[in-house]
Amino acid sequence: MRLPLLLGEGLCKRRTLLCGILCGGEPWRRLLRSTVSTLSLSERARLRAAKIWSERQAAELEAAERFSWLAREFEAVGASASVRQLASRAADDERRHAELCANLSRYFGEGVARSGPPFVRRIAPAGMERKDALIYDVVALACVTETLSTALLGALVDRASDSLARRTMHSILRDEVSHSRLGWAYLAEVASPRAMQAISARLPAMLQSTLGDELFRRSSVDPLECAVAGLGQLERIERRRIVRETLEQVVFPGLERFGADVRGGRQWIEDRQ
């Protein structure tokens, strides 16, 4: 692993000093190793948290781009004014979340590099009819991702051990609830048997690309996990439990109400327990 990743980008002065002594031969490298290992648990937890919030800032900017794109698509296909407004407001919210995440990352010790708008790839598989593809994107982004995000943030707010982290997460949580609602509201307007059939067939792939592999990785106990849980990321086992329960109790029943067959999704999550 590269040294800057171990130390965190925010500790600029310390990093420069340590990178300097790293070039000074084995005695200096021994000093470096002992310096790193004597960082306290709480300091290492804050550095981990800084990195997590820095990555979240990028994810929020990506979400902002996706909601901007959705707002334009809603306009093009003639979605209701309320859904169009929810999408535009969500794009603004996500940009604000990105700022909040960047602030929190700096607060925990990592500077966030400014970059241009991210390149956002389409979620729906190629070849779907435009309106069906839009429904697919809305389900993946709002009904699945934002609903899971709401559940995870709710648990994080309860566990928060830092007052700025708690205020930030609480502020983001309020918006995520309405981003999730956007998805269900759009389904109520346009869900068709054909679109829901396409979603049913691709639900495992949608869950795979939304959740990835990290969540289901089995690894040894990480001593930082518990401390970081109060600063912005729950223990993996806890995240897994919340994701499973939210899928089973909210997302799958919600999709079934609009005619989806969620057996593939249920099997997907069961295979990962």
Q: Contact between 97 and Fe ion (CB under 5 A)?
A: yes
SS3 content of the chain, % helix, strand, coil (to 5): 75, 0, 25
C-beta of 182 vs 229, nearer to Fe ion: 182
How far apart are CB 270 and Fe ion at their closest, in Å? 27
Side chain identity, residue 205: A
**Residue 260 — φ and ψ, nearest 5°?**
-80, 150
Site string for Fe ion, 168-207 (x = CB under 5 A): --------x--x----------------------------
How far apart are CB 232 and Fe ion at their closest, in Å? 13
CA distance 22 to 25: 7
How far apart are CB 166 and Fe ion at their closest, in Å? 16
Q: Does residue 251 contact residue 264 with C-beta atoms inside 8 Å?
A: no
Interface size with Fe ion, residues (CB under 5 A):
6
C-beta of 196 vs 211, nearer to Fe ion: 211
DSSP 202-237: HHHHHHHHHHTTGGG---PPPTTHHHHHTTT---HH
For 15, what's the count of Cα atoms within 13 Å in the CB-facing half-sphere?
15
DSSP structural state of residue 111 = P
Which residues within the stretch 120-159 sit at the binding site for Fe ion (CB under 5 A)? 146
Six-digit token pair at 27?
A: 């005695």
C-beta of 9 vs 93, nearer to Fe ion: 93
Q: Which of 136, 154, 174 is nearest to 245 (CA)?
A: 154
How far apart are CB 234 and Fe ion at their closest, in Å? 17
C-beta of 168 vs 200, nearer to Fe ion: 168
C-beta of 47 vs 90, nearer to Fe ion: 90
Which residues within the stretch 59-88 sit at the binding site for Fe ion (CB under 5 A)? 60
How far apart are CB 67 and Fe ion at their closest, in Å? 8
Instruction: Give contact residues for Fe ion (rule: CB under 5 A).
Output: 60, 94, 97, 146, 176, 179
